[in-house]
Structure 1
Amino acid sequence: MTIGLQRRRVTRGATLPGATDPGEAAVGRQRVGNPALFGGLALLTALVGLLDFRTGEDLHLIPLLVVIPALVSVFGTVRQTIGVASWVTVVVACSRMVDGGTFWDTMTSVAFTVLACFLGVGACVLRIRHATQIARLRSAAGALQRQILRPLPILTDQVLTHGIYTPIEEDRLVGGDIYEVVESPYGTRVIIGDVQGKGLAAIGVGFAVLGAFREAAIREPDLTGVVDALEDAVARHNTFSAQTGEIERFVTALVLGFDGSDRVQAVNCGHLAPRLLHRGVARALPLRRTSVPLGMAELSPEARAAEPLDVPADATLLLCTDGVTEARDPSGAFYPLDTRLSRWAALGPVELLEALHADLETFSGGVRRDDIAVLAVRRAADSTPPRTGPADHGARRAAAAFSGL
């Protein structure tokens, strides 16, 4: 989940302070301190030895200590497992010699103990190697996520955007829902979208749309030009998908343009209408010009057009994907978004998102049926109009770069 700053940051691959074992970083919080481990081991050995002495020749309990290295291999480091295995081997060998058994009985018992301890150490090595690989994969996934979806909140000259992002699959940090906020010479452009389908193929289409949006948002003076560039990107991706045997996909998207005034331009490509929260009242903003999703322009004879929306300076604009509106409770009822928003219309963006996310989890019982993306967009406190053109924007960026030298 992402509320304000993204909370699902990848930390499992980080090196722990004071780590001396290559696998300790992967073990993470499962690591047990040596004093506690070996103190408990000594106490357990003394207890088992006392019980073994009380049972006499009828039942030997000391050999049962061979299970301890196997248990330690589940949560300890390799060094800890080796230390416990060595301790158990010495204890078992000394116990057999004190009992006065034959040479072969002693050697057989010691050999069995060594074999069991060796298997425990081997299991620990394999566990830590696997955990390290998983940590590296998660670290790479986190880096990929930061390239595909920027961490929130995002602040520009015109707006401050907070958000929630929850993929349907817990082991993936990125799903089929997309969002982006780009500051351009013509104002701030915002997109939220939902790619048809799920899986890696859907992520690929989403990445193509985001790449096109980031470029076109700065290049195109008109919002419809930005959307046309997104349409071309989806069409090219579908052509490539057809050549590789994959299915063609479409993308529902809502693209907004903020120029510092109370009028927000919107181009809706088959997406959900935004919700406006202002002075304790929440309502949907009906869009009269809803066109077909991206990738389906050939099916519509009408060109896409921008539509102005009245958004007061102190209002919050809520954008979401159908993962919110199509969430269901155990009985199959859909999530009543507009009814719930009326309860939270007076909240700030962060509190609103926290309440919405908690209520969604409670309503659905924690069962997700689709990716969830929500943006709460509010005008920046010192909202300023955009520069007059690309040249001014380029000069501004050059001045910023020069000031950082």
Structure 2
Amino acid sequence: MTIGLQRRLATRGAAPPGTDAGEAVVHAPRVGNLALFGGLALLTALVVLLDLRTGEDLRLVPLLVVVPALVSVFGTIRQTVGVSTLIMIVVVGSHLAYGGTFWDVTTGVIVTVLACCLGVGACALRIRHATQIARLRSAAGALQRQILRPLPILTDQILAHGIYTPIEEDRLVGGDIYEVVQSPYGTRVIIGDVQGKGLAAIGAGFAVLGAFREAAIREPALTGVVDALEDAVARHNVFSAQTGETERFVTALVLGFDGSDQVEAVNCGHLSPRLLHDGAARAVPLGHTSVPLGLAELSREARAAEWLDFPPGATLLICTDGVTEARDASGAFYPLDARLGRWAERPPYEVLEALNADLDSFSGGVRRDDIAALALRRTASGGAGRPLHSGHGARRAAETFSGR
């Protein structure tokens, strides 16, 4: 199943087919005209009756000028104009009926008209702002779908479930990245964490993902894929320097699956994977860890690949430091290895569900960094060359494979 980002997107709702995002806001469910004007009529009648009883000692009808401002918070422009017109007629009529000096009546009428016009203007500005926000979110959603592939993903070699949670609620994309690519040489997987946050970090992450999607299919050796990623980050940093932006580096773990009982790995300053097998969970030590992408010129050693055991039925968990560096109220770090042992017998999607819920409980719902995690399990077949599947089709295949 898909959690994390998929759940966030689902809770935001979607516009009907063929409907612009801004139109979706304007045409969102709202208070009905009958309920609105019926309630307004009762309120107006009540205020007028009380005003008649209090007489000139306490004028209540002029207080109705606040009603258009209240309606502008939740109503449409048409509803606000209708309410403002009704209130204007009642309040201005009240001023004329009670009489008074010329300036008293004139001032009351002017204040009423201005209050009603301000209510209509506030409603128009609110809808305009909501429309702009909806369009921005729609564009961000489209950007997210281009940057990060929906989960789960099923290839010939592995089934990949995952969670992705940006630190900010209104951001659909953060500094963490992942990708799964079916290639002629097996399945290639990357998970990474871009230094920093914001749009600049997203740009560096997109540069890495674009290079990975191309190099994973083109390069026979996994180290060749990583060299292409290094070049992409270096080029991105040159461009960033020219435009006055901060240069970035990217920690990454790149894996290669060929259907055997082992996994090829190249670690570029990233966290070690965790292996869940036979009811136990343990960190998989990596003998060679290179510098992050973008910092190759600081090291004299070339990046090297190593092989990790990946027996049938095992789950390989890879994640970013948003998981291991989550803190509780006392400042203690999240004990990932101790918690994974509790879920070692569960299927991959249940491990991720438990991990996501436990992180929320441990941190009290306060996240300090983006979180990305992939749970990888071997498929029954070991062939290569079949295109990968993702999204709803992969979800059905994943449920079948997982025995759901």
Same-fold call, TM cutoff 0.5:
yes
1:187 and 2:186 are equivalent in the alignment: yes
Query: How far off is 1:105 after superposition?
Result: 4.9
Q: Is the contact between residue 4 and residue 350 of structure 1 (CA under 8 Å) also seen in structure 2?
A: no
Q: CA deviation at 1:162?
A: 1.5
Give the number of the structure with larger relative contact order, counting CA–CA contacts within 8 Å between residues 6 or more apart: 2
**Deviation at 1:383?**
2.7
> 1:106 deviation in Å?
4.6
C-alpha deviations, 1:218-275, integer Å up to 9, x for none? Answer: 1111111111111111122222233334333221111111112221111111110111
Relative to the length of structure 1, the TM-score reads 0.88
Superposition map of 1:208-223 within 5 A: 208-223=207-222
Q: 1:190 aligns to what SS in structure 2?
A: strand
Contact persistence 1:5–1:153 (CA under 8 A): no
Moved more, 239-248 or 360-369: 239-248
* Letter of the 2:359 counterpart: L
TM-score calculated relative to the size of structure 2: 0.88
- 1:258 equivalent in alignment to 2:221: no
Q: Residue 384 of structure 1 corresponds to which residue in structure 2?
A: 382
State whether residues 77 and 120 of structure 2, in contact with CA within 8 Å, keep that contact through their aligned partners in structure 1.
Answer: yes
Counterpart for residue 3 of structure 2: 3
Alpha-carbon distance in structure 2 between the residues aligned to 1:352 and 1:32: 43
Structure 1 residues 34 and 43, CA gap change in structure 2 (3 angstroms): same
Change (3 A) 1:346 1:202: same
Q: Per the alignment, do residues 97 and 243 of structure 1 end up closer, same or farther by CA in structure 2, a change over 3 Å counting?
A: closer
Structure 1 window deviating more from structure 2 (25-34 vs 135-144): it is 25-34
Percentage of identical aligned residues: 79
Change (3 A) 1:237 1:166: same
Amino acid in structure 2 at the alignment position of 1:386: A
Q: Does residue 239 in structure 1 map to residue 238 in structure 2?
A: yes
Structure 1 gap segments, 5+ residues each: 388-392, 395-405
Would you say the 8 A contact 2:21–2:135 is kept in 1? Answer: no
Q: How big is the shift at 1:9? A: 2.1
Cross-structure match for 1:268: 267
Pairwise CA RMSD = 2.5
Distance (whole Å) between structure 2 residues aligned to residue 13 and residue 253 of structure 1: 33
**Inter-partner Cα distance in structure 2 for 1:146 and 1:368:** 23
Q: Could you give the per-residue CA deviations for residues 47-72 of structure 1, whole angstroms, max 9, x where no partner exists?
A: 11221122122111111111000001
Residue 288 (structure 1) aligns with: 287
Distance in 2, matches of 1:359 and 1:27, equals 38
Q: Distance in 2 between matches of 1:22 and 1:57?
A: 51
CA apart distance, 1:377: 1.3
Measure, in 2, the Cα distance between the counterparts of 1:23 and 1:103.
Answer: 47
CA distance in 1, matches of 2:175, 2:23: 34
Q: Does 1:66 align with 2:65?
A: yes
**Aligned equivalents of 1:102 and 1:173: distance in 2?**
60
Q: Is contact 1:13-1:138 (8 Å) kept?
A: no
Cα displacement (A) at 1:326: 0.8
The 10-residue stretch of structure 1 (133-142 or 91-100) with the greater mean CA deviation from structure 2: 91-100
The aligned residue for residue 329 of structure 1 is 328
Distance 2:130 2:313 in 1: 48
* Residue 15 to residue 105, structure 1, CA distance change in 2 (3 Å): farther
> Is 2:178–2:190's contact at 8 Å kept on the other side of the alignment?
yes
Change (3 A) 1:363 1:137: same
Aligned pairs, how many? 385
Segment of structure 1 superposing worse, 206-215 or 150-159? 150-159
Q: Which residue of 2 aligns with 1:339?
A: 338
Q: State the secondary structure of the residue aligned to 1:8.
A: helix
Shift of 1:198: 1.9
**Shift in Å, 1:99:** 3.8
Name the amino acid aligned to 1:367: V
The amino acid of 1:236's aligned partner reads R
Cα deviation digits, residues 270-306 of structure 1 (max 9, x gap): 1101111123211111111222211222233322222
Task: Tell me the CA shift for residue 5 of structure 1.
Answer: 7.0
CA 1:22–1:258: 2 relative to 1, 3 Å: closer
Partner of 2:401: none
Partners in 2 of 1:23 and 1:210 — Cα distance?
A: 30
Cα separation, 1, equivalents of 2:365 and 2:299 = 39
Higher mean displacement: 197-206 or 238-247: 238-247
Q: State the alpha-carbon separation in 1 of the partners of residues 23 and 30 from structure 2.
A: 7
CA shift for structure 1 position 24: 6.3
- Bigger shift: residues 25-34 or 97-106: 97-106
After alignment, is 36-45 or 331-340 more displaced? 36-45
AA of the residue aligned to 1:127: R
**Structure 1 residues 340-370: Cα deviation after superposition (integer angstroms, max 9, x where no partner):** 1111112222222122112112212222222
CA displacement at 1:212 relative to structure 2: 0.4
AA at the equivalent of 1:265: E
Quote the residue 2:166 is aligned against: 167
